Amino acid sequence: MSDDETTVDRPVALISGGSRGIGRAVALRLAEDGHDISFCYRGDEQAAAELEKELAGLGARCLAERVDVSDAAAVKAWVDRTEQTFGPVAVAVTSAGITRDGPMLLMSDDDWHDVVDVNLSGVRHVCKAVVFPMMKRRAGSIVTLSSVSGRHGNAGQTNYAAAKAGIIALTRSLAKEVGRRGIRVNAVAPGLIDTDMSAALDERVRDQVAARAALGRTGLAGEVADAVAYLASPRASYVTGAVLPVDGGL
């Protein structure tokens, strides 16, 4: 970037779980839309470094930090550093998530709590950290990532489905709490998307899910990112408390 370009104010987008999969696609899409990007990741430093390079190539300033989103203090510190480095967070996207699948009767307490702590409490931690500054500015957009599992349930995913359903309830409730302060809160609920997480599924299961979709295929991370970018943008200025399925018509 030239010196002149670096002086242009760019809105700041904060993305949890940004180094891979849907979070990575969202980071790239929002950078293309003119945002500077702050993202956190759980452990894949190589993927984070590669994304930083791609974002720089799109003209975006970038802050990448290793953060456990189940740790409220760590999330708050990350958000504070983001605003100190780049300025106010205009858009927050909660994409961090893990799976620990198995029948409920055989599921360990650790597998239950790990998924709920990351997938649901992690969303709460990000939202709580960004929403107060947004309220003071009377502006902001939050987009959470739920799942088709949170809307319809899924055998072998009681922990994941419960967390993703909780995200929908959190999103709709928070939207009602902060709407009059100029903040919009929406959710995207993807179906089966081609990511590292879904690649771990048995091929027969993937084929069965794809066959159930009206479009007859799995989705792409970029297709989810486009939906997130819409909800994050002024184009969705009268949309809040919504849950947008991106599932091919399951």
Marked catalytic residue, from 41, 160, 230, 238: 160
Are the C-beta atoms of 65 and 78 separated by less than 8 Å? yes
Supply the Cα-derived Rg of the chain in whole angstroms: 17
Helix axes 158-178 and 122-137, enclosed angle (nearest 10): 10
Beta strand 183-190 with 243-246: parallel, antiparallel or unpaired?
parallel
Neighbours of 80 (CB within 10 A): 12
Per residue of the chain (250 residues), give pLDDT as tens: 444 444 468 999 999 999 999 999 999 999 999 999 999 999 899 999 999 999 999 999 999 999 999 999 999 999 999 999 999 999 999 999 999 999 999 999 999 999 999 999 999 999 999 999 999 999 999 999 999 999 999 899 999 999 999 999 999 999 999 999 999 999 999 999 998 766 666 677 778 888 899 999 999 999 999 999 999 999 999 999 999 999 999 8
Are the C-beta atoms of 139 and 93 separated by less than 8 Å? no
Taking the C-alpha atoms of residue 215 and residue 250, their distance in angstroms, rounded to an integer, is: 8
Strands of the sheet containing 183-190, edge to edge, are 62-66, 36-41, 12-16, 89-94, 140-145, 183-190, 243-246
pLDDT score for 9: 83
Say how many Å lie between the first and final Cα of the chain, rounded: 43
φ/ψ of residue 91, rounded to 5: -135, 135
Helix axes 122-137 and 72-86, enclosed angle (nearest 10): 40
Measured between alpha carbons, how far is residue 215 from residues 151, 189, 231 in Å? 19, 16, 23
pLDDT tens per residue across span 112-132:
999 999 999 999 999 999 999
Whole-model pTM: value is: 0.94
Largest CA distance in the chain: 61
pLDDT tens per residue across span 62-84:
999 999 999 999 999 999 999 99
Pick the CATH number of 9-246 from 3.30.420.10, 3.30.70.1380, 2.60.98.20, 3.40.50.720: 3.40.50.720
Is position 238 annotated as part of the catalytic site? no
